[in-house]
Amino acid sequence: MERSLQRGLAMFSILGVVAPIFALILVGFLAGKRNILGPNAAGELNRFVVYLALPALLFDVMARTSFEEIYQPAFVAAFTLGCGLVFALTVVIRLRQHRHLADASIDGLNAGYANTGYMGFPLAMIAFGPSSLAPTSIAAILTVCFLFGIAIILIEVGLQTERHAGRMVLKVVRSLARNPLLIAPAAGAAFAATGIAMPAGAETFLKLLGGAASPCALVSLGLFLATTRTEATGTGTGLGMLVGFKLILQPTITWLCGRYLFGLQPPLLHMAVLLAALPTGTGPYMLAEFYRRGAAPTARAILFSTVGSLVTVSAYLALIR
């Protein structure tokens, strides 16, 4: 009886966090079906996120994070190995299936990019209280900066057609130097290192602009789902593998590394596993749409992993309670 009640409370908690995600996707889907925003709305809204909103968010996160706050090496190692190994395994599998490096990299994100920013903070607060803020911030930084940055580098390498190695490296470096998703967190970290306090006006500006990243990305996802056909690419075993890797394999690896390699103790171990078990975030969709690599599989991976997380995350929360 008590266990059933715990499961019910866990399911209710995660439903409260997930419901707004589906609501925003639904708003975009209905707007797309009724052609309220026009045929190019999904792409243009995504460009707004990639060039303006998300860079503001990444700069703000890095500018307000001190070294002391993120210095938890065991937690960092366990979470990084969880997402990094799943990302690398997915890329290798996709390359062996003769997929392009850019597409394989996006699939790697589909399998390893947890929705730490939008779902992580409220869920961790519900489960662990204020002590979860620092670990969740670390997981968000690792996901949206470290993992995202590696994927962008691999995509840029894959898109280069130059055969001369030196010229190819130069082209990749130039592309990366102009990429706002890499420039913004680097600039934020540099600002944090100066020790200068963020002016109130600048902080408000960054929070307003950065706060638009997640909702706009979700609305853009709904618009895309409304204007794309649901057959063929991204269905079947390929989608099942991505969702399974995200919801089951990544938290399992994180738990094994945290428990046996780095000796993480509860509740820090449970925080790492919970954050690793979150569904795919909107970052992979942003990249797929931005680089025109076929966003349909990514859109479905986000949708199905979010639905599946209702079961897997609720079960884990009930288990640890």
Contacts of 278 (CB under 8 A, 6+ apart): 114, 115, 116, 119, 120, 123, 309, 313
pLDDT digits (tens, 9 = 90+) for 263-308: 998 889 999 999 999 999 888 988 888 888 878 888 889 889 988 9
pLDDT on residue 216: 87
pLDDT per residue as tens digits for the range 90-120: 999 999 998 999 999 999 999 999 988 777 8
Distance CA(204)–CA(238), nearest Å, equals 42
**Which pLDDT does position 30 carry in this prediction?**
92
Q: Which amino acid is at 279?
A: P
For the cut 50, the answer to whether the pLDDT of residue 144 exceeds it is yes
Q: Token match 């992580």: residue? A: 120
pLDDT band at 176 (very low <50, low <70, confident <90, very high): low
The residue-averaged pLDDT of 146-151 equals 87
Burial 138-177 (b: 16+ CB within 10 A, else e): bbbbbbbbbbbbbbbbbbbbbebeeeeeeeeeebbeebbe
pLDDT band at 237 (very low <50, low <70, confident <90, very high): low
Domains delineated in the chain: 2-320 (1.20.1530.20)
**Is 219:45 a contact under the CB 8 Å cutoff?**
yes
Give me the percent of the chain exceeding a pLDDT of 70: 84
State pLDDT tens for residues 126-143.
778 777 877 888 888 888
pLDDT at 233: 42
Query: Tell me, what's the pLDDT at 230?
Result: 46
